[in-house]
Amino acid sequence: MATTPLSKAAGHGGHHEVKFNHLFGNLLALMALMGITIWASYVNFGNSTINNLIALLIASVKACLVIWIFMGVKFATPLTRLWVAVGFIVFILMFGILGDYATRRFEPTAGWELNRPNGGGTALPREWPPAKRPEQGAENFRPRL
């Protein structure tokens, strides 16, 4: 394999060979985690949310083992490890944002659709009655739609 200035600076002379002990230990750990996953699927921890969190935690540990050994992050440069960590952080933030978005209630607002020729508006029901017109002299009144 060709040596580049970057690989020389990182202390790598080429491709790193993973020892059999590392691969076999990783295999045993993945098999143990698979057994724990199967066991946890039969146990009721009191709440489906807790069951799902435990399953996701076990799956995350298995994914980290695969990434650490089989994808070579264990033997990579600190910069590569940093990017892997940033990728996990972004992934967690993405699910946090999507979870937040999925649990919010949709509230339609007035927009361009009110300017359509047929009157437009929203087809979704409102939760409060529309605001009434104030008495005379309210110049800055903006009705709630």
Burial class (CB in 10 A: 0-12, 13-18, 19+), 43: exposed
Instruction: With 0.75 as the threshold, say if the pTM is over it.
Output: no
In this predicted structure, what is the pLDDT of residue 108? 57
Examine residue 53 and state whether it is found in any structural domain, yes or no: yes
Tell whether 65 and 55 lie within a shared domain. Answer: yes
Examine residue 82 and state whether it is found in any structural domain, yes or no: yes
Total domains in the fold of the chain: 2
- The first and second tokens of residue 128, run together, are 């409060």
Q: What share of the chain is helix, strand, coil (3-state, %, to 5)?
A: 60, 0, 40
Question: Which residue has 């491709």 as its token pair?
Answer: 15
Examine residue 133 and state whether it is found in any structural domain, yes or no: no
Tell whether 69 and 87 lie within a shared domain. Answer: no
Q: Is the pLDDT of residue 39 over 80?
A: yes
Last residue of a domain, which of 32, 53, 75?
Answer: 75
CA 36 to chain centre: 23
Tell whether 66 and 95 lie within a shared domain. Answer: no
Phi and psi at residue 18, to the nearest 5°: -85, 135
Question: For residues 84 and 131, what is the distance between their CA atoms, to the nearest angstrom?
Answer: 53
Residues of the chain with pLDDT > 90: what percent? 27
Instruction: Please state the rounded mean pLDDT for residues 63-70.
Output: 89
Tell whether 56 and 66 lie within a shared domain. Answer: yes
* Span 50-64, pLDDT tens digits: 999 999 999 999 998
* Span 19-28, pLDDT tens digits: 888 889 999 9
Tell whether 58 and 80 lie within a shared domain. Answer: no
In this predicted structure, what is the pLDDT of residue 129? 57
Return the number of other C-beta atoms located less than 10 Å from residue 69's C-beta. Answer: 19
Examine residue 144 and state whether it is found in any structural domain, yes or no: no
Tell whether 67 and 102 lie within a shared domain. Answer: no
Q: Is the pLDDT of residue 79 over 70?
A: yes
Query: Within 13 Å of residue 67, how many CA atoms lie on the same side as its CB?
Result: 13
Q: Predicted confidence band at 42 (pLDDT cuts at 50, 70, 90)? A: very high
What is the residue range of 96's domain? 76-108
Q: Interhelix angle for 20-42 vs 48-65, to 10°?
A: 170
Instruction: Please state the rounded mean pLDDT for residues 105-118.
Output: 56
Instruction: Please state the rounded mean pLDDT for residues 109-123.
Output: 53
Q: Predicted confidence band at 139 (pLDDT cuts at 50, 70, 90)? A: low
- The first and second tokens of residue 41, run together, are 């699927």
